[in-house]
Amino acid sequence: MHDPLRRRRRRETHVAQAMGHLAIRAGAEVRFHKTSRILADLAGGHADRTFDKRLAAHVKADLLILDDFAMREFTPGQADELYELIS
């Protein structure tokens, strides 16, 4: 049985990657991350007190692509971290 949601997510990822490739060709620095992984990295920054350094490393790119965004409900802390990341 085919999972239409899975196919849609795959298409969305493909489009995001294509946008990233176009930006790279235009000379931009691009970072592509699964949202869950970037949130885990930022949470680790709270644990070892490197949150600001980790956040700065993620936002220095010209284009940050967060794949699988909002696939799950975020905790209030994760929502705050995402706000910091994209604002």
- pLDDT tens, residue by residue, 29-43: 999 999 999 999 999
User: Which amino acid makes up residue 87?
Assistant: S
According to the model, what pLDDT value does residue 11 have? 74
According to the model, what pLDDT value does residue 72 have? 80
According to the model, what pLDDT value does residue 86 have? 86
Apex CA 83: angle with CA 77 and CA 87, to 5°?
155
Q: What is the pTM of this model?
A: 0.76
Terminal CA-CA length for the chain: 41
Other beta carbons less than 10 A from residue 78's beta carbon: 17
According to the model, what pLDDT value does residue 4 have? 63
24-30 contacts at long range (C-beta below 8 A, 24 or more positions apart): 28/61, 28/62, 28/63, 29/60, 29/61, 29/62, 29/63, 30/61, 30/62, 30/63, 30/64, 30/65
Taking 70 as the pLDDT cut, the residues of the chain under it are 1-9
